[in-house]
Structure 1
């Protein structure tokens, strides 16, 4: 299958999913470059070599990394001070590649081999128990990251995105089922006065509208 320009650009990105480029993940950034809406110098993890790779694919000239998006640096890995962790799970929710293990009100730990150094877990932590440590010495950009690591990170990000989408669909289905049950309940309620009949009709209309919105949302997905 022939790859699109966005596919080729995405293949050249480090897949840290760090959002430093200004987009929610590497794929949207690749699509923005392909459509001409983003420049090729917005990816700090890719660094100077990453810009060269993107220039070769797109035909754009090589330009310096835009400091607005950050600076090229040795790749860091997140570490959690387990003595301070309160088990809030906010870091787990923020991690784009499922590199953090833990559960609510339990100590969390980061798997260094899976961490992409995206920094996204740091800000949400309410007790400042997460720090980023450089682990690649003086090596930066693609010298501090491999294509194999990028491929693995992309696979984990895609798996996580698919899981979250599935959970949203399942939750929407549960809510829709509750709405249907409530609609049947409202319809079965006795009501003889005009006020009672009007209230029943109002409830039916609200629930029916909610069910229709859920149906339309499911159809789009």
Structure 2
């Protein structure tokens, strides 16, 4: 695979990160095309113009969009019917570009200018309160999506991935610190228990020695009386 070719291909993708192509990200799809593992007509958001752009950089003929991956359509934006939202956060976890604001058990809302229309938030919603609303009537594919929007979506996707990595690292650090604290407490408890056992053993030894001295004194007294 040519890394340079993969970079060129990725720059021609709309960066919606919708996974409709069958790959987890636009980057992975670009790498698969460069490797010859995927065809260059599997991106519905890019539409037929997207296929033509990719055909040019690949020096291949323009072929029809593979609609088994989805139809070319006007670009939609997600909309949450807020009165039905239960604050489950599943849509927030699914959004690839952090276009949804909300917190557990609180109403969520979409940031329209960040939404790429990927549809990924729809399926996880347990109360079916997310709708995809077309915002570019009569315009589909690259006619409904600019280079600037694609770059912004790519930056948002990268920012989200960095945030998730940072949060995972912070969580791992918290768990490690918690485990270390528990281990230290256990070691202290074990040391304390061992010391308590030693103290009890010393007390038992002192008592046993006292009993033995008393027994010997009694025996001496009895012998003295007999003599």
Segments of structure 1 that go 5 or more residues without pairing to the other structure are: 193-221
Match of 2:6 in 1: 6
Distance 2:124 2:25 in 1: 18
| Aligned-residue offset at 1:183 | 3.4
Match of 2:63 in 1: 63
| Aligned-residue offset at 1:172 | 1.3
| Aligned-residue offset at 1:78 | 0.8
Distance 1:26 1:54 in 2: 13
| Aligned-residue offset at 1:103 | 1.3
What is the DSSP-based 3-state SS (H/G/I as helix, E as strand, rest coil) of the residue aligned with 1:4?
helix
| Aligned-residue offset at 1:64 | 1.2
Match of 1:146 in 2: 146
What is the DSSP-based 3-state SS (H/G/I as helix, E as strand, rest coil) of the residue aligned with 2:131?
strand
Distance 1:135 1:184 in 2: 58
Distance 2:4 2:173 in 1: 35
**How do 1:35-114 residues align onto structure 2 when only pairs under 5 Å count?**
35-114=35-114
Matched, 1:156 2:145: no
| Aligned-residue offset at 1:187 | 4.1
What is the DSSP-based 3-state SS (H/G/I as helix, E as strand, rest coil) of the residue aligned with 2:79?
strand
| Aligned-residue offset at 1:178 | 2.5
**How do 1:27-38 residues align onto structure 2 when only pairs under 5 Å count?**
27-38=27-38
Match of 1:219 in 2: none
Query: How many residues are paired up?
Result: 190
TM-superposition CA deviations, 1:137-160 (whole Å, max 9, x none): 111100110000001111111000
**Deviates further, 110-119 or 42-51:** 110-119
TM-superposition CA deviations, 1:36-85 (whole Å, max 9, x none): 11110110000100011111112232211112211111111111111111
Distance 1:114 1:175 in 2: 33
Greater share of residues in helix: 2
Segments of structure 2 that go 5 or more residues without pairing to the other structure are: 195-227
Matched, 1:117 2:117: yes
What is the DSSP-based 3-state SS (H/G/I as helix, E as strand, rest coil) of the residue aligned with 1:33?
helix
TM-superposition CA deviations, 1:3-43 (whole Å, max 9, x none): 71111111100000101011111111111111111110110
RMSD over aligned CA atoms reads: 1.5
**TM-score, structure 1 as length reference:** 0.81
| Aligned-residue offset at 1:186 | 4.0
